[in-house]
Structure 1
Amino acid sequence: MTEEHLSTDELQDRCWAVLAAAAEGRDQDVDELLVTLPWADLVTVVCGIGSLAVGALARSFGLDEDTARGRVAEVARGLLAERLAAREGPADAE
């Protein structure tokens, strides 16, 4: 991790680089692209990648980005709730 922050253009480039490396299954390259970032830049890159994903989903489903953001958030919360319930097991098992 470094203390040097990236410019906005460099952060956007980093988002695309992580996306490309992840698409190609290059986990080690993703690690290298992220491990060197200061915390604030890491958060920016992660949020940027999430925004790219939401934008891609919006386009693929023909939705405006605001609608897509709402739907992705709903689906993500639903999946998280299902995963939590599966780990906890049935309530009457106690």
Structure 2
Amino acid sequence: MHMTDEGIDTGLREQIEKLVEVATGRVVTVADLRAAQGSLDMAGVNSIGYINLMEALAQRFGAVIDPEADPQHLMSVDSIARFVRAHA
């Protein structure tokens, strides 16, 4: 298992990147996310993409992010990975 400087498993990061890609109907690609340094907003994820992503995270990892209570967890691939690691 390879970890990033932030202590995030790169395999988990890659899984989340792929979930974002699928959740957005491939409008936002893994390359877009990496170019935006993992920022979902900067990569162009829209509200429907966020909803689809939250559903995918709950199904895949059992991690339920409440966007009203904890919007900071949906800011980037890394913030999602930290949340998943802590709550799944």
TM-score computed with the length of structure 1 as normaliser: 0.30
* Rg larger in structure: 1
